[in-house]
Amino acid sequence: MTYLKSIWVVLFAAALSACTSTPDPAEQPIQASAVSVTLPDFVTGPDTTLAWRSNLIWIDDPEGRFERRADQLQAALAREFANKGLVFATNFEAATYDVLAIAMLGPVSGHPEVQEAFRLYPALQKPTEGYRRGSVIVAIAPKGTRKVVWRGALEIFTDPDRMEPMAVRTERLRFGAQQLLASIPAVR
């Protein structure tokens, strides 16, 4: 038994020593926390189509500083929906479901009105140096209704003021969209 304890101590020490370097934040793994709720009424099939209820809303950007990033985030979400076999209707009125997306700097808990409406609480545990928390919420409702049948929230480390290379930013957006929409099954 003592032999096994010794092996564990050596392995634990080796793991700790491997974690002492401080990598460039752009090279750090992306950390995210996603939660979602699906109601039984959310049924998809090959003929399911989506429509944006509005462009992605960035609720704490009254001056429009992040408009371009909001467009990029909405495009990343649309690509992830497409990866799941869900397409956006060319005829808005013919869509099966409406999709609403909201983004904000800071955690959802910092926006009580959003927290009360969506009742989702993603939470990152460990801070990442050089990044702040950002949140994205997506809601899906049958076309023309307010009955939300799927909702998801993502908290991710972000810094909209950081000028990362486009490839890094694109990968972060792709990863975030993938994590947020992970509970939606692919259409077969």
Window from 22-31, 63-72, 84-93, 152-161 with minimum mean pLDDT = 22-31
Tell the burial category of 104 from Cβ atoms under 10 Å away from its Cβ (0-12, 13-18, 19+). buried
pLDDT tens per residue across span 12-42? 333 333 333 333 444 445 677 777 888 888 9
The two tokens of residue 19 are: 């974690």
In this prediction, residues 154-171 reach a mean pLDDT of 74
Query: 61 vs 84, which has greater pLDDT?
Result: 84
In what helix (H) or strand (E) does residue 78 lie, and over which residues does it extend? helix 67-83
Q: Where are the domains of the chain?
A: 36-180
In this prediction, residues 164-171 reach a mean pLDDT of 79
In this prediction, residues 79-83 reach a mean pLDDT of 95
In this prediction, residues 136-140 reach a mean pLDDT of 90
Query: What class, spelled out in words, does domain 36-180 have in CATH?
Result: alpha beta
7, pLDDT greater than 70? no
In what helix (H) or strand (E) does residue 179 lie, and over which residues does it extend? helix 166-180
139, pLDDT greater than 60? yes
State the residue for tokens 């992306």: 30
Among candidates 154, 184, 169, which has minimal Cα distance to 82?
A: 184
Give the model's confidence band at 67: pLDDT under 50 very low, under 70 low, under 90 confident, else very high: confident
pLDDT tens per residue across span 102-133? 888 766 767 777 766 777 666 656 666 666 77
Helices (H) and strands (E) in the chain, counts: 4, 7
- Give me the pLDDT at residue 161, please: 64
